[in-house]
Amino acid sequence: MTKEVRALFLILIITVAPLMIYAFIQVRSLDEDEQMAKAAYEKQLDAVLFSLNQYADDMMNRWMRQLADKQNSLSENVNDLIIGNESIQMIVLRNYKTKEDSIYVNDYVSINDNTYEKVDQWYNTKDSVINRLSEYLEAGFQKIQPADDWMAIEELRPDQTGITVMIYDEDSVLHNALFILERKFWIEQILGLQMQKIDHDEFTIAVGHWQEEGQQWPTILYQTTLFSLKKNFTKTNLWILPNTFLFIQPKGKSYTELIQSRSRDNLYLLLFSVFVVLIGIFLMIRNIKNTLKVAQLKSDFVSNVSHEIRTPLSLIRMYAETLMLGRVPSEEKKKQYYSTIHHESGRLTFLVNNILDFSRIEANRKTYRFEDSDLNILVGRIYENFSHYFTEHHVDCNLKQSQDPLPVFVDTQAFEEALSNLIENAVKYRNGKNKLDLSTFVSNGYACCSIRDQGIGISKSAQKHIFDKFYRVESALTQKTKGTGLGLSLVKHIMESHQGEVIVESKPNHGSTFTLKFPLTKQHHE
Ligand code: ADP
């Protein structure tokens, strides 16, 4: 593991790991929270239904108290109940001992002998139930029992459900009372009001039953507002009526759903923060890497510059000393020494100018003095200046100039600096291929100047960086040649200041062509 990877790992562990652990715990607790919220909410719903069931029981007990009112006879009480409650279709009073039935019906019902027979049939299987209810009554508890298996009879309205209870008449004779109710009516009249009261705009409460076995959805008999069987709901048996159920569901979003969506939102926010932190770390690492790289480039630059300065300086010093001591035998040798001193001091000037220019650019203090000129003339002059340099390096540089005049608006000194850098590079990186081509031409409204070498060339990936300050290609050949990595960044800056550009075309081992493009001034178009 490299140092860098280890540092990266450490940063990740310190910053992201706690967030990830927190996110993980959140995801796990999300489910538990939901379960808890759901359980609590269902308990609340159950409590609402429980209170309704109790209310229904209370209402039935009220009837029973009316029935047992000793001020009137039992039959009078039965009649009163039937007159006062339209939902009671029929009440059967069966003498416990004699098993004689008296049947009382509401005025919208008419019965016949058949009715007595059917009632008798129902009682046939009820001995044990009636005995048990009697025992309860003896013990002081009047239990109201749903008549679960009451089969609807034709003489009554079709919607029938029953309850049964034991009761003493005014002469203390034990009777069983069987109430046959119209279920929908009873629910509407007795339960409906109470259901509306506790609905609170918070729940929808409904009563329904399954008419037939295997019926998928219940038939809704009453609802406080529109009840949807497709949404979540809680249900419970209505104690007092067989096969009848109470349903409840929240209006709008349930508490559980609210918790669910809130926890989800929190989780997404958390994941988003993790994501942002990761991006932050990525940017930070990239930044650090760049800073380290620039620091490395700068230190390389310092050693390169020192090296570049030291060589010509020691040459100048050595030749000057030899000349001063008068140890040079012939005039010809003297001339050679002077020329070397001149050449090396020229190199030093070039180098120092480059560095000064660079520092001016960095400080935003580089200024240009533009003037109308002709690119052909400028290139011709520079070519002349370099002739000695070419000979010295055994380079054969061919100049081919455009036939047309190339009017441009340039800082002639800056242009000289740019082209000199390109020519110097072409010579430096020619790799023994001594042929260079210098040319001027017009292309798409630009006056261009190209320098082509057949040297080491530059790979595509390196081409992206050669114009960066301090950058030098990392190859054995480049490292062997002297350089500061400033030349091309200067060229680029100069060209941008002229609204022009510098273009490189190159292939490793096949040479490179650098082209400077200046916008042609109006004179050319006229
Ligand atoms: P240097 O002082 O190193 O020459 P430059 O900024 O002038 O700095 O060039 C940057 C790098 O681009 C050089 O180090 C070299 O690797 C590459 N380069 C520039 N010109 C040429 C060329 N004509 N042929 C091959 N490589 C070149």
Residues 259-279: tens digit of each pLDDT = 778 778 888 888 888 889 889
Q: Which of 51-55, 292-296, 520-524 has the lowest mean pLDDT?
A: 520-524
43: CA distance to ligand 1 center in Å? Answer: 80
Residue 441 has pLDDT above 50, yes or no: yes
Average pLDDT over residues 101-127: 92
For the chain, what percent of residues have pLDDT higher than 90? 51
Distance (angstroms) between ligand 1 centre and the Cα of 95 equals 122
User: What is the Cα gyration radius of the chain?
Assistant: 54
Residue owning the nearest CA to atom 13 of ligand 1: 472
Nearest CA to ligand 1 atom 14: 472
Max avg pLDDT among 213-217, 255-259, 394-398? 394-398
Q: Is 491 in the pocket of ligand 1 (CB under 6 A)?
A: no
Residue nearest to atom 23 of ligand 1 (CA): 426
Residues 6 or more apart whose Cβ sits within 8 Å of residue 166? 96, 130, 133, 134, 136, 137, 142, 143, 174, 175, 176, 177
pLDDT at 138: 92
DSSP-derived letter for residue 190 is I
State residue 256's pLDDT score. 67
| 37 contacts 256 by C-beta, under 8 angstroms | yes
Atom of ligand 1 at shortest range from CA of 451: 23
| Closest to 322 measured CA to CA, from 312, 310, 333 | 333
Cα atoms in the Cβ-side hemisphere of radius 13 Å centred on 282? 6
Q: Please, are residues 181 and 87 in contact by the beta-carbon 8 Å criterion?
A: yes
Mean pLDDT, range 240-263, rounded to an integer: 79
Amino acid residing at 270? L
Is 455 close to ligand 1, i.e. is its CB under 6 Å away? yes
CATH of 368-525, one of 1.10.540.10, 3.30.70.2740, 3.30.565.10, 1.10.10.10: 3.30.565.10
Query: Is 472 near ligand 1, meaning CB less than 6 Å away?
Result: yes
> Mean pLDDT across the stretch 194-222?
84
* Residue 453 beta carbon below 6 angstroms from any ligand 1 atom: yes
pLDDT at residue number 526: 43
Q: Which helix (H) or strand (E) holds 204?
A: strand 203-209
Is 431:481 a contact under the CB 8 Å cutoff? no
Contact 304 CB / ligand 1 (< 6 Å): no
Backbone angles phi, psi at 304, to 5 degrees: -65, -45
Q: In 328-355, which positions are buried (b, 16+ CB within 10 angstroms) versus exposed (e)? A: beeeeeeeebeebbebbeebbebbeebb
Q: Which of 357, 472, 482 to mutate to test the pocket of ligand 1 (most atoms within 8 A of CB)?
A: 472
Which backbone phi and psi does 471 adopt, to 5 degrees?
A: -75, 130
Task: Give 405-451 as a DSSP string.
Answer: --EEEE-HHHHHHHHHHHHHHHHHT-TT--EEEEEEEEETTEEEEEE
Question: Range with the lowest mean pLDDT among 30-39, 87-96, 169-178, 209-218?
Answer: 30-39
Query: How many Cα atoms occupy the beta-carbon half-sphere of 454 within 13 Å?
Result: 10
Confidence of residue 257 (pLDDT cuts 50, 70, 90): confident
Quote the pLDDT of residue 318: 93
Instruction: Name the average pLDDT for the chain.
Output: 89
Nearest atom in ligand 1 to the alpha carbon of residue 471 is 10
Q: Is 429 in the pocket of ligand 1 (CB under 6 A)?
A: yes
* Count, residues in the chain: 526
Residue 160 pLDDT exceeds 60: yes
Question: What is the C-alpha to C-alpha distance for residues 163 and 153, in angstroms, rounded to an integer?
Answer: 15
pLDDT digits (tens, 9 = 90+) for 121-155: 999 999 999 999 999 999 989 999 998 889 889 99
Return d(Cα 338, Cα 106) in angstroms, integer.
141
State which of 15-29, 184-198, 238-252, 365-379 shows the largest mean pLDDT: 365-379
Asked whether the predicted pLDDT for residue 423 surpasses 90, the reply is yes
Average pLDDT, integer, range 421-440: 95
Residues 6+ away with beta carbon under 8 Å from 30:
260, 263, 264, 267
Nearest ligand 1 atom, CA 430: 24
Q: Is 401 helix (H, G, I), strand (E, B) or coil?
A: coil
Residues contacting 116, CB < 8 A, separation 6+: 101, 103
Atom of ligand 1 nearest to the CA of 483: 2
What type of residue sits at position 523?
Q
| Whether the predicted pLDDT of 8 surpasses 80 | no
Q: How many CB atoms lie within 10 A of CB 169?
A: 18
The pLDDT value recorded for residue 139 is 93
Q: Is 483 in the pocket of ligand 1 (CB under 6 A)?
A: yes
| Distance from the alpha carbon of residue 473 to the mean position of ligand 1, in angstroms | 7
Average pLDDT over residues 272-290: 88
Domain residue ranges in the chain: 368-525
- Distance from Cα 495 to the centre of ligand 1, integer Å: 17
Q: What is the pLDDT of residue 298?
A: 82
Whether residue 247 is predicted with pLDDT greater than 50 in this model: the reply is yes
pLDDT for 525: 46
Sequence-distant (6+) residues with CB within 8 A of 463 are: 504, 506
Cα 354 to ligand 1 centroid, rounded to whole Å: 14
Closest by CA to 397, choosing from 426, 418, 366, is 426
Which pLDDT score, from 0 to 100, does residue 254 have?
67
Helices (H), 363-411: 375-392
- pLDDT digit string, tens, across residues 35-72: 787 788 788 888 989 999 999 999 999 999 999 888 89
Nearest CA to ligand 1 atom 12: 466
Mean pLDDT, residues 474-489:
83
Q: Which ligand 1 atom minimizes the distance to the CA of 485?
A: 8
